[in-house]
Structure 1
Amino acid sequence: MLDFDGRRFRAEGSTAVAVYRQEGDLVWAEVSGGEVLRGSVTGLRDDTGTLHMGYTIVLAGGELVCGRTVNTPEVAADGRVRMREVWQRYHPRPESGTSYLDEVV
């Protein structure tokens, strides 16, 4: 099963980088850079390797964003990981969507 510890990811179109840590099935990340002053994501990896996480992010403009996400990893031919992220934002503007996180090597 995929180990996330020490892996770095960036969302498409963003300069913010998330650095992941893992102990067993507990997975968390610290996010910063570009439009993100500081953010954290914490959750669990299930039996299929999918991550179920909650997040809080403070943006450079002072906006606080919180929500949840389900990230499904895929390993590319070159060994890098790409995660399909299905997210729900609760605050300040509730919405949902799908985005992709690409591993930064």
Structure 2
Amino acid sequence: MRAVTGARIDYNNRFFSADPGGSPETAAAGESPVGHYHQLGDLVWAEFRGGKVLTGRLVGTCGPDGALRLAYCQVLADGGVVAGECTSKPERLPDGRLRLREEWRRSDGSSGVSHIEEVRGRTGG
């Protein structure tokens, strides 16, 4: 993997999932949350669902380097509500897809690092 440099990233109409292979089949089966990203200028937002996530939303900004600063909220299948913020830094996978390294902090004080990868072969919402 390599850091993304050069041309600005456009996140509009891209899909991301924690599924390590970015497989459309796994994502379509709802085995892990899939986020549908949108972008207008520096504004980025997404809706996501799947796996243990009934529904979620995020909103934030995209920097010149493609890094995202986001706030998010989600409702889980067990009724839990999770909110927080994250900074996502893009990396380019060998096959050309994007991988986002997410440093997150929840409103309950917990924090961590997650990775999501672009899922190809998806369209629409």
TM, length-normalised to structure 2 = 0.78
CA offset digits 1:1-20 (Å, max 9, x no partner): 11101110012576110000
Encode CA deviations 1:43-74: one digit per residue, 9 max, x unaligned. Answer: 00012210000000000000000000000011
| Percent identity of paired positions between Structure 1 and Structure 2 | 43
Match of 1:3 in 2: 10
Partner of 1:44: 61
Residue 74 (structure 1) aligned to one of 54, 71, 91: 91
Query: Higher strand share goes to which structure?
Result: 1
Segments of structure 1 that go 5 or more residues without pairing to the other structure are: none
- TM-score computed with the length of structure 1 as normaliser: 0.93
Partner Cα separation in structure 2 for residue 59 and residue 7 of structure 1: 23
| Deviating 4+ runs (over 3 angstroms) | none
Greater relative CO, 1 or 2 (CA 8 Å, sep 6+): 2
CA distance in 2, matches of 1:33, 1:99: 16
Kept in 2, the 8 Å contact 1:12–1:99? The answer is no
Structure of higher CA gyration radius: 2
Q: Does 1:102 align with 2:108?
A: no
Total equivalences in the alignment: 103
Q: RMSD value over aligned CA atoms? A: 1.3
- In structure 2, runs of 5+ residues without a counterpart are 1-7, 21-30, 121-125
Letter in 1 for 2:68: L
